[in-house]
């Protein structure tokens, strides 16, 4: 089934620091952007706690989503101009799918919540599931706008986001190892964090991209631009997304929310300040409407209230988060260093800290690139290059650079703890000097 949406008499544009202009050519796209569910994304930070390391990273999910839409729009234009379908099933681009792809690109992150992943861990929410629920719920504005196209249109949009749509070409434009989503967030996050790692030649990649049966591919002549993209993604994960300080702030946020959930209704130290918008999540009985009321600002306001709570752990964690005093960390080897980690945890407990809230093990790994492996539970769509003889070849078979990082997870394991244990005040006299000295010695051994 194909869907049609009329174009605007005159396109509208949004100025954008990454793409210069975001071109809005359909009334449907403009109406989706104006929905309250989509406008909420202005109040959700794109990179979560990374802004506590890279202070410029104040950009929102809203900007990212319209950026993904813009890249998808450019891909559609390129495919229509250079690879238009001549007959049903030829694997070329059928532009009747344009509006479906554009809506999926625009809405792919609609369900992200405040501080994204930390919130999800504590309250067992899933932004992808919520995205689909918001699209399919007849109560949401975004569903009502989508349903004007056709009653089945919301389901079709959701199926692309769920990766269940039968046309895998459409799915891969939004979700694959090189897609509109990844290309935008790498460029956008690099720009706002002030680093050079995530930059690559977007225009060249779009130029060499082509449709194929059941997917997308790239001309072999553009291999080096694709290499650059893969390496840029790898470097962004290692240098930005997995930065130890950002992870330390996220650990702190995780423990803060966990403690607030524990305190809610607790007889000895219940929450005295209102957290009414979080109450449904504390009890596990929340609705989509409850979810839509939350954003980064709401949670930050509650954190300020919790500074005055009687529970010393909650108020201390809130103060550490608001004043940017993240936990310190050290990398460790799970096989070799477990005894040291156990002893460090015991010392922290003996120093009077509740180790449930003042220690954490954090494991952050990413697979920079992988090829198709039959039998794997979660297969990645490999990047294919079109040779001059008309045959396709997988990227790592012709790129030595990509081959070197293919199938190899990169990252580390870190142990987090209160910074003041490692750096106590020089003028303080402590009854725990021996414990602190042992702690510092163990940290030094792990650091080496």
The domain limits of the chain are 7-242, 247-326, 327-368+399-448
Inform me whether the pLDDT recorded for 430 exceeds 70. no
Average pLDDT estimate for 421-440 = 77
327-368+399-448 has the same fold as 247-326: yes
Give Cβ neighbours of residue 64 (< 8 Å, ≥ 6 apart). Answer: 46, 109, 184, 185, 188
Burial class (CB in 10 A: 0-12, 13-18, 19+), 388: exposed
Average pLDDT estimate for 317-343 = 96
Inform me whether the pLDDT recorded for 283 exceeds 60. yes
Instruction: Find out whether 224 and 90 touch, Cβ atoms under 8 Å.
Output: no
Instruction: Find out whether 57 and 49 touch, Cβ atoms under 8 Å.
Output: no
Query: Following DSSP, what letter does each residue of 74-102 receive, concatenated?
Result: HHHHHHHHH-B--STTSSSB-GGGHHHHH
Helix, strand and coil content of the chain, in percent to the nearest 5, comes to 50, 15, 35
Average pLDDT estimate for 391-410 = 94
- Residue found by looking up tokens 């930065």 in the block: 243
pLDDT of residue 159: 98
Instruction: Find out whether 432 and 350 touch, Cβ atoms under 8 Å.
Output: yes
Q: Cα separation of 325 and 421, whole Å?
A: 13
**What topology does CATH give the domain 7-242?**
Hypothetical protein af1432 (1.10.3210)
Q: What is the mean pLDDT of the chain?
A: 93
pLDDT of residue 268: 78
Burial class (CB in 10 A: 0-12, 13-18, 19+), 276: exposed
Inform me whether the pLDDT recorded for 442 exceeds 70. yes
Confidence of residue 378 (pLDDT cuts 50, 70, 90): low
Average pLDDT estimate for 267-273 = 80
For the four alpha carbons of 384, 388, 391 and 394, in that order, the dihedral sign comes to negative
Output DSSP code: residue 322: H
Output DSSP code: residue 164: -
Pick the CATH number of 247-326 from 3.30.470.20, 1.20.140.10, 1.20.1250.30, 1.10.1740.10: 1.20.1250.30
Categorise residue 361: left if φ over 0, alpha if ψ from -120 to 50, beta otherwise.
Answer: beta
Confidence of residue 433 (pLDDT cuts 50, 70, 90): confident
CA atoms within 13 A on the CB side of 180: 30
- Residue found by looking up tokens 């495919």 in the block: 79
Q: Where are the alpha helices (DSSP H) in 275-397?
A: 279-283, 288-292, 296-306, 312-322, 338-350, 355-358
Pairing mode, strands 215-219 and 384-386: parallel
Q: Cα separation of 57 and 395, whole Å?
A: 32
pLDDT of residue 376: 53
Give Cβ neighbours of residue 73 (< 8 Å, ≥ 6 apart). Answer: 23, 25, 102, 105
For the four alpha carbons of 253, 259, 264 and 270, in that order, the dihedral sign comes to negative
For the chain, how many residues are written? 448
Q: Cα separation of 223 and 219, whole Å?
A: 7
pLDDT of residue 413: 96
Q: Cα separation of 41 and 60, whole Å?
A: 7
| 3 state DSSP class of 392 | strand
pLDDT of residue 152: 97
Strands in 215-219's sheet, in edge-to-edge order, are 209-212, 215-219, 384-386, 392-394
**Residue 23: beta bridge partners?**
13
Pick the CATH number of 327-368+399-448 from 1.20.1250.30, 3.30.70.20, 3.40.50.150, 3.40.50.300: 1.20.1250.30
Instruction: Find out whether 46 and 59 touch, Cβ atoms under 8 Å.
Output: yes
For 79, phi then psi, to 5°, come to -65, -40
Output DSSP code: residue 220: G
- Residue found by looking up tokens 């000895």 in the block: 268
Inform me whether the pLDDT recorded for 429 exceeds 60. no
CA atoms within 13 A on the CB side of 425: 4
Q: CA distances (Å), 174 to each of 32, 73, 78, 277, 384, in order?
A: 18, 11, 16, 33, 16
């Amino acid at each position: 089934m194909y869907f049609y949406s009329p174009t605007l008499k005159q396109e509208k544009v949004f100025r954008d620091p990454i793409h210069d202009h975001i071109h809005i050519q359909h009334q449907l796209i403009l109406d989706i952007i104006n929905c309250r569910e989509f406008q909420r994304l202005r109040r959700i930070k794109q990179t979560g706690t990374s802004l506590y390391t890279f202070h410029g990273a104040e950009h929102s999910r809203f900007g990212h989503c319209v950026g993904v839409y813009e890249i998808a729009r450019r891909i559609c234009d390129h495919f229509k101009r250079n690879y238009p379908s001549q007959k049903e099933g030829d694997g070329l681009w059928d532009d009747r799918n344009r509006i479906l792809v554009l809506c999926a690109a625009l809405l792919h992150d609609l369900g992200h919540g405040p501080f994204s992943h930390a919130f999800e861990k504590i309250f067992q929410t899933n932004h992808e599931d919520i995205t689909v629920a918001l699209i399919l719920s007849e109560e949401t504005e975004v569903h009502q706008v989508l349903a004007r196209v056709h009653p089945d249109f919301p389901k079709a949009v959701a199926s692309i986001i769920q990766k269940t749509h039968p046309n895998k070409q459409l799915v891969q434009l939004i979700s694959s190892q090189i897609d509109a989503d990844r290309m935008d967030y790498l460029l956008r996050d690099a720009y706002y964090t002030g680093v050079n790692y995530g930059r690559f030649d977007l225009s060249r990649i779009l130029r060499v991209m082509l449709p194929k049966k059941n997917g997308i591919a790239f001309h072999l002549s553009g291999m080096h631009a694709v290499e650059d993209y893969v390496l840029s993604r790898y470097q962004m994960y290692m240098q930005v997304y997995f930065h130890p300080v950002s992870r330390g702030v996220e650990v702190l946020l995780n423990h803060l929310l966990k403690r607030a959930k524990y305190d809610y209704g607790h007889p000895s130290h219940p929450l005295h300040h209102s957290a009414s918008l979080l109450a449904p999540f504390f009890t596990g009985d929340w609705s989509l409407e409850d979810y839509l009321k939350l954003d980064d600002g709401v949670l930050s306001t509650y954190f300020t209230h919790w500074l005055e709570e009687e529970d010393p752990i909650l108020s201390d964690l809130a103060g550490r988060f608001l004043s940017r005093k993240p936990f310190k960390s050290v990398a460790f080897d799970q096989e070799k260093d477990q005894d040291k980690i156990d002893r460090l945890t015991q010392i922290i407990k003996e120093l009077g800290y509740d180790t449930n809230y003042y220690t954490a093990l954090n494991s952050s790994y990413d697979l920079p690139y992988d090829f198709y492996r039959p039998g794997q539970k979660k297969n990645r769509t490999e990047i294919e290059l079109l040779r001059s003889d008309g045959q396709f070849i997988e990227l790592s078979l012709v790129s030595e650079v990509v081959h070197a990082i293919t199938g190899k997870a990169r990252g580390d394991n870190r142990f987090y703890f209160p910074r003041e244990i490692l750096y106590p005040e020089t003028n303080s006299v402590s009854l725990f000097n021996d414990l602190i000295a042992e702690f510092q010695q163990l940290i030094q051994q792990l650091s080496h």
